[in-house]
Structure 1
């Protein structure tokens, strides 16, 4: 185990290289993970599928990723976190290219599931890696920067696919995004410092996971990303269908610009990480969830400016909450911090997979008000879970 002097502190070369490398990982991983989201209507049209069925191209990736989190964490503990992340990113870019040539919706969903499996080697390990390599004095800021990279990857990937689809096709869009991910992967390979304690040979104890799953505070904290991410992905999945239909009737390229709202998440996650280090995680988390709920309600009117403003507010609140909660997981997990981060990631992507598709039934039957009602309920439950974690940890 490394001592405090072995960890990367703010202001050091290792700290800067680690942050830049993880930024590259976030750009590649999250660009690929949600690549089909802006072009769901085009995929649905080509294959003659419903909105809910087409959204499986997103949910397949996140669902498989969620299931793979724990076993991949075990693999990384034996094989090494750095090697696991490098190989995972490279394979994901290759699968991204394969998705562009999928002959049927079923094949596309299957390839997207495989992409989620290999991306588990990145996202299941990344938070634990940052937590293991960064000194506590800079952990909140480092985690916030990593989440900022996630949001940059999300917006960059969506802009590439939306723009390319408008001038070419969704297939061209996926191919170009995969090539961009290869470039970000090269940056990650080049900059990531050697791990001070990569965990090889240490294994992952099932007993540790059992202990965490019996801890109400850990379960409540894992429920926060499960609920928030589920609602967040549902909003973006079905907002695409709303904006290409009357009364908005926007072209795909303009719909893609809506994903610039992710830049609000880039800023808010970095700021929230620093704020959590200064004023405490509970205050920042509760404030961020309330902001997310306010943004959601702002999307209700049939006014494009109101929808855009609401989306920006919702995105800023979501990423701020995620940055805080993800940095809280290894702390609440105590001696099993890496495993707690793995459970957090599992909850995060399980929510994306389940609710990202399930809320489609609300869209089909009740339109956008139905989506907002569903997501508001998820956000309210997440707020209750966050307050419970704050109460439990204060007592402890």
Structure 2
């Protein structure tokens, strides 16, 4: 098995011989191969589990407010602590994967997040639930920080856009399914049971991910020296355009998540007086993102 990272297709000189091109095809995973299908399906499952676990709590926030006697802002902490710890974990799990490998970090992240979700359904106190949610966010950073790096290293450059689009499509389905499943279930069962169901589904997705994702072939371990970690972090701010993209994502996602956090309170009250199951069905708008992610990734 070759371990050297192959050059990008556009970096191969025009005079390169057929052996060099053949070597490129041997190292990279190409569209249409069984390995490509396994990779896309595995990352699809990983993205599904990540966003289902992260956002499954949004439809149940009004119910949590009633059960624990807390207001809407306090109830939203069940999502905020998870996303906050996920953001913090991105600074840690990425460098760890540079040292020990992509797949081990992602597999451990998914299993840990699923088990913490199951544990959160058994917590007797609000504080206990928040602690488990913080651990879930920290765990999920191990997939969010590493998945696209894995794809960029293993997928042929011509097909990276499609592969990443399909991965983001899995994110969209996960975000929709997590909200939809819990939004419908809590009209019939307790929120504890709904969380247990989501945790079980994520555990199955983690097992599928572990079994079918191909091992890295182009990964090369890097140092965990603090200086190299700092250089890797500051590098992103030396480009004039990247900080603006970071800001744009922060504002758009912040507004988007906040809308879904509180819209349930509004629709359950007068003058709408909708049932919880109909509020949960709002997540079907995610279906448009499933198509657009794959299509735009392919066009890019």
Give the match for residue 71 of structure 1: 92
1:1-396 matched pairs, under 5 angstroms: 1-3=4-6, 4=8, 5=24, 6-203=27-224, 205-276=229-300
**Superposition TM-score, scaled by structure 1 size:** 0.67
CA deviation profile, 1:66-123 (whole Å, cap 9, x unmatched):
0110111111111111000001100111100111122222221121011101111111
For structure 2, list consecutive stretches of 5 or more residues without a partner in the other structure.
Answer: 9-23
Unpaired stretches in structure 1, ≥5 consecutive residues:
277-396
Report the TM-score, using the length of structure 2 for normalisation.
Answer: 0.88
User: Alpha-carbon deviation of 1:200?
Assistant: 2.6
Contact 2:5 2:219 (C-alpha < 8 Å) held by counterparts: no
Residues 131-174 of structure 1: CA deviation (Å, up to 9, x unaligned): 22112211111111000000111111112111221101111110
| Cα distance in 2 for residues equivalent to 1:130 and 1:240 | 36
SS at match of 1:271: helix
**Contact kept? 2:183, 2:280, Cα under 8 Å:** yes
Q: What's the C-alpha RMSD, in Å, of the aligned pairs?
A: 1.4
Q: Deviations over 1:202-259 (max 9, x none)?
A: 4454213223223221211222221111111111111121211111111111111111
8 Å contact kept, 2:52–2:198: yes
Alignment: residue pair count: 276
Secondary structure of the corresponding residue to residue 262 of structure 1: helix
Which structure is higher in RCO with an 8 Å CA cutoff and minimum separation 6? 2
Q: Which structure would you say has the larger Rg?
A: 2
CA positional deviation for 1:262: 1.0
**Preserved CA contact (<8 Å) 1:81 1:199:** no
